[in-house]
Amino acid sequence: MSVFRLIVAASLIFSAVAFGAEEVDLNAPAVLEDFDDAYGDEPDQTTVGAVYGIVTGGAVYKGKGFWYFFKDPDGSDVTDFEGEQVTNSTVPVLNQEGVLIANLYTSGSDNKNPYAGVGCNLVGDDKSNETPIDLSQMTALSVRIKGEGTVRLLFKTMDLKTAEWGYYGYDIVLPVDWETITIDAEDILPEEWSDPYKDDWTFAHGADEVLKLEFKVKDGDDASIQVDEIVAEGMTYADFGWDTRISYSHSSKASTKNLSVKGSNISFNLAQPQNLTLSLSDIMGNRISTLFTGNAASKSVNLSNMRIPNGRYIVVLSGQNTKMVQPVAIMK
């Protein structure tokens, strides 16, 4: 097996990850859900959940970010596009040819505070293992949507810790025809009964620890909803900050004694400080990026947030009396 193939086999990801015939481009816009199953074979799995599963675990994508329905036990209901009652075994039926379709009813409920809705753990497994997602760089949420009635868009976050509440929300009046609605992040506000309820808070307060997204009706209201796409505007998949790795091949002992590549960190450690340049070059020797320049004896640079294309590169540490190289393969 060649060195390059060893690199690929040992590294699951950095920015683009293969899954069957598909690849995840971490520099692509952050689609939370498009209902087309591009990265998996589960019709009720979120797009971002499938991507998260691939990025953090290779082909182990199952159990990440699934849709569910919820309702009070006293007469509220959730039905599919044919008007059939939704049960735990028929949740995938809500996804019809790449569109989420659901009818939400609370008008027939005897509950004091009736409710019904559909939602998803964005990247989590289930209620016992909710996994937060960082949406702090999201400037707005865009939703391609249509239907009848008004639904409440909700984000459950970890900063609002009451078991029953803890949501930020925004009312969407459903258009009759398909329309992409853009909601500024600053307009997504804490639910009135969230604890603690803060008048001056916006979504930004809990955006780095988001657990769920939901569409909900309550208090006797009904709605029919169809959703085609949900996008975190202003973000790419790379902005989620998921664990990524850079794999590297070994060069000579002289090259690696004081220059190290571990995970996504490149570091050097010399006996005495001197004027140095740490750079990344292609295999032809052309400089791609200057990672550090200055007077130092040691330094560590993390490549996780640098948008460097897939490929094989050479890390070069050069100074007046220093010349070290280290091959590195960045797998996206």
| DSSP at 3 | H
Of 26 and 145, the structure prediction assigns the larger pLDDT to 145
163 and 301 co-located in one domain:
no
94 and 173 co-located in one domain:
yes
192 and 317 co-located in one domain:
no
Lowest mean pLDDT among 55-59, 91-95, 196-200, 205-209: 55-59
75 and 115 co-located in one domain:
yes
Of 108 and 16, the structure prediction assigns the larger pLDDT to 108
Alpha helices in 141-277 (DSSP H): 253-256
pLDDT above 90: percentage of residues in the chain:
37
265 and 192 co-located in one domain:
no
pLDDT tens sequence across 236-255: 988 887 755 444 333 333 33
Residue 25 pLDDT: 77
Mean pLDDT of the 55-73 span: 74
Closest to 27 in 3D by CA, of 255, 308, 275: 308
Of 279 and 226, the structure prediction assigns the larger pLDDT to 226
- Write the DSSP assignment of 217-236 as a string of letters: EETT-EEEEEEEEEEEEEEE
Q: Is the pTM of the predicted complex or chain greater than 0.85?
A: no
304 and 226 co-located in one domain:
no
201 and 264 co-located in one domain:
no
Q: How many CA atoms lie within 13 A of 3 on its CB side?
A: 9
Domain span including residue 301? 253-330
Residue 9 pLDDT: 25
Q: Are 90 and 84 in contact (CB under 8 A)?
A: yes
Whether 102 shows a pLDDT value over 90: the answer reads yes
Q: Are 277 and 318 in contact (CB under 8 A)?
A: yes
Looking at the domain assignment, is residue 235 inside a domain? Answer: yes
Lowest mean pLDDT among 149-153, 172-176, 290-294: 290-294
235 and 258 co-located in one domain:
no
223 and 276 co-located in one domain:
no
193 and 44 co-located in one domain:
yes
Supply the CATH number for residue 210's domain. 2.60.120.430
Name the domain boundary from 240, 272, 303. 240
Whether 188 shows a pLDDT value over 60: the answer reads yes
Give the pLDDT band of residue 332 (cuts 50, 70, 90).
Answer: low
Name the domain boundary from 240, 274, 303. 240
Residue 238 pLDDT: 83
Residue 193 pLDDT: 73
Whether 127 shows a pLDDT value over 80: the answer reads no
Looking at the domain assignment, is residue 55 inside a domain? Answer: yes
236 and 277 co-located in one domain:
no
d(CA 233, CA 8): 32
Supply the CATH number for residue 257's domain. 2.60.40.3080
Quote the number of domains for the chain: 2
Name the domain boundary from 196, 212, 240. 240
Mean pLDDT of the 29-54 span: 86
Strand ranges in the chain using DSSP code E only, listed in sequence order: 16-19, 22-25, 29-33, 67-71, 77-79, 100-105, 115-121, 140-148, 150-157, 167-173, 179-184, 189-190, 210-218, 222-236, 259-262, 265-282, 287-302, 311-319, 323-330
| DSSP at 46 | -
Q: Are 168 and 257 in contact (CB under 8 A)?
A: no
Phi and psi at 32, nearest 5°, equal -75, -35
Lowest mean pLDDT among 24-38, 160-174, 199-213, 270-284: 160-174
274 and 326 co-located in one domain:
yes
Mean pLDDT of the 26-55 span: 85
